[in-house]
DNA sequence: GGAGTTTATAGAACGTGTTCTAATTCGGGC
DNA sequence: GCCCGAATTAGAACACGTTCTATAAACTCC
């Protein structure tokens, strides 16, 4: 009983999956999720459809991800990690924190805006998540925060830098949601982010 | 046809309801929503339960509010208006924008935290809202923004003040959500708000 | 006060997230 | 090779948001 439980937890965390087959199943599921979300957004990510496309039974899908929100937030984490890796491989221009943060923000924002449906699906899942998905949400929040602290300086971030990064993350997410729900244009978003970063870092 | 349509729109906006009976129905619905949300949060606000409690048919409920999200966001607007009126009747202490904004923030936040389930229901609906509820969401966003600009100064707000108010609103909401989903304690929230307002207004 | 229109009601019906069941397959230890 | 517990499968079942249908009540205009 106890070993089974710990293995199940590992499924959710996505690390240390016992077998190759399981790692592959998990990847197929996340891929299917991203594909469906890219095509039709949050509503198109239907659990039966994800299971079909990933060639997995519905019950298995739920064994790997206990809810649609867990599934989408975990996929968001995967995507952010990819973005972060890409960012790590590029040298961020600008000789002030202000300029570098704006560069990073602009680049990721434009990246997300290139895939509106996917962005809609993930941001809505993220903000709708309840307590049961706390771990996944925290992971994403941490990825966002570190994305911005890295842009501010190469050294370990100070508390104030962390606070600033968090505020930027909050504003970023809120604007992304406004854009996704068509309450703000891409220009609105860019302006507000610029203004926010200016208030905080200049 | 055309007069009927415009009357239906009025139902959603909540203004100019044709008859007394309709105004009363609408009020019963919002009251039922708030009562159910206060008791069990977002999940407890079930459309059949709201209809029952408001003594209204399910179809009627949907005629007044086209979705659960519309219903909850409209109720949030009602609650924020109440809070705003209360705030208008008290003199906000503090001789800097920083102090006054913090006072307002702290007071409203503590007010919401006194009713965790209601807060959970409303914030989750607000952040989950899709494009179809854009008008209701904008209204709430505007209420929040003006709440903070009023605290900053009695005069008409400058663009910078509006921008600051918006940032504060974003951070406030995000922290409220974190608290509601138990990813942050009340102390965390208070600290982060204090820090944010300090960064922006000091 | 009656015809026509709009609104409300009761309840069935439908879609999708989630859970449950029974049968099957897989993988590791003998 | 065989056994056992765990993982997977197919599919039924259930819950709740939403839509639809048929009927009744309320309102409007003459």
- Confidence bin at A2 (pLDDT 50/70/90): very low
For residue A56, what are the CA distances in angstroms to A11, A18, A47, A79?
15, 17, 11, 22
B92 in contact with chain A, both atoms CB, cutoff 8 A:
no
**Beta carbon of B135 within 7 Å of strand C?**
no
pLDDT at A75: 95
Summarised one tens digit per residue, pLDDT across range A47-92 is: 999 999 999 999 999 999 999 999 999 999 999 999 999 999 999 9
Question: Which of residues A4 and B81 earns the better pLDDT score?
Answer: B81
- Confidence bin at A117 (pLDDT 50/70/90): very high
A174 in contact with chain B, both atoms CB, cutoff 8 A:
yes
CB-CB neighbours of A168 under 10 Å = 29
- Output the distance from A51 CA to D2 C1' rounded to whole Å: 33
Determine the nucleotide nearest to B18 by Cα–C1' distance. Answer: D27
Q: List helix spans (H) across B153-185.
A: 159-180
Of B138, B174, B182, the CB nearest to A173: B174
Chain A's closest residue to B125, CA to CA, is A128
Residues listed for chain A: 202
Note whether B21 and B10 are within 8 A (CB). no
Question: Which of residues A38 and B17 earns the better pLDDT score?
Answer: A38
Quote the minimal CA–CA distance from B133 to chain A in Å: 9
Residue among B143, B111, B103, B101 nearest B126 (CA): B143
**Beta carbon of B47 within 7 Å of strand D?**
yes
Contact B171 A171 (CB under 8 A): yes
Show the tokens assigned to B5: 């349509």
Q: Which strand C bases fall within 7 angstroms of a protein CB?
A: 5-12, 16-22, 26-28
**Beta carbon of A47 within 7 Å of strand C?**
yes
Summarised one tens digit per residue, pLDDT across range B39-76 is: 999 999 999 999 999 999 999 999 999 999 999 999 99
Is the pLDDT at A4 greater than 80? The verdict is: no
**Beta carbon of B2 within 7 Å of strand D?**
no
Q: List helix spans (H) across chain B.
A: 2-13, 20-44, 47-54, 58-64, 68-88, 97-113, 116-128, 134-152, 159-180, 186-201
Low-confidence ranges of chain B (pLDDT < 50): 1-15
Contact B163 A192 (CB under 8 A): yes
Residue among A170, A176, A167, A172 nearest A199 (CA): A167
Give the residue from B167, B177, B182, B193 with the most A CB atoms within 10 Å of its CB, the best one to mutate: B167
Model pTM score? 0.90
């Amino acid at each position: 009983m106890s070993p089974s439980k710990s293995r199940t937890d590992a499924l959710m965390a996505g690390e240390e999956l016992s077998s190759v087959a399981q790692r592959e199943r998990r990847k197929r599921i996340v891929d299917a999720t991203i594909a469906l979300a890219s095509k039709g957004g949050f509503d198109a990510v239907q659990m039966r459809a994800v299971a079909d496309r990933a060639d997995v039974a519905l019950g298995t899908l739920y064994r790997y991800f206990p809810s649609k929100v867990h599934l989408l937030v975990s996929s968001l984490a995967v995507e952010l990690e990819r973005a972060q890796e890409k960012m790590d491989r590029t040298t961020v221009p600008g000789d002030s924190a202000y300029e570098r943060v704006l560069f990073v923000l602009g680049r990721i924002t434009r990246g997300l805006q290139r895939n509106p449906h996917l962005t809609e699906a993930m941001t809505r899942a993220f903000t709708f998540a309840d307590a049961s998905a706390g771990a996944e949400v925290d992971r994403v929040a941490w990825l966002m925060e570190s994305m911005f602290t890295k842009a501010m300086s190469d050294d370990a971030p100070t508390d104030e830098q962390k606070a600033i990064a968090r505020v930027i993350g909050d504003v970023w997410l809120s604007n992304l949601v406004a854009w996704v729900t068509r309450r703000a244009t891409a220009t609105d978003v860019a302006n507000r982010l610029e203004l926010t970063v200016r208030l905080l870092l200049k």
